[in-house]
Chain A
Amino acid sequence: QSALTQPASVSGSPGQSITISCTGTSNDVGGYNFVSWYQQHPGKAPKLIIYDVTNRPSGVSDRFSGSKSGNTASLTISGLQAEDEADYYCNSYTGYSTEVFGTGTKVTVL
């Protein structure tokens, strides 16, 4: 199974909105609403920020939102803050009953 495709890097100024895409196939992203997103700061474990495409766990800022269209899922960060600078990974359940992560996106706050 191939990793889901994400842009290597995305940047924005404080207060702006950015969107990270996650492209898969009809056998993973497009076929199931089990897409999740993770934030990872350097040297730390990943942290769940979006699950089931659009849902936020308790305690996660509402500046994070998720969506999906066809085989592409997206994570939008609104009102970008310095603390949002991190790596972001998408994940999807697949038709083979396995899991697949995205290639990862480094978010830089200018």
Chain B
Amino acid sequence: DTEVTQTPKHLVMGMTNKKSLKCEQHMGHRAMYWYKQKAKKPPELMFVYSYEKLSINESVPSRFSPECPNSSLLNLHLHALQPEDSALYLCASSPYNELDTQYFGPGTRLTVL
């Protein structure tokens, strides 16, 4: 099973709202990722968790707050977003070595009004 699940599929929120994106995998992968993707562009790395610890933060604004409660779950908490944060948010997971691929979830399409 190479499935990564993400909820919700679509999310519309106002600039003052607080919401969360959720991601789950049961492949035993110890690296989990959040990406932001704008139309016709490659995914842009936001955060990486390795063994449930934040290992990479690509200078993401603090209105995005990641959380890894356990080895299977990854959350992205959203607060006071801007319209330019509207994008596809992809979660991925991978084994912990350079010769393995990452597996992506279906993504959450976020619209900030």
| Binding between chains A and B | no
Which residues of B are interface residues toward A (Cβ below 8 A)? none
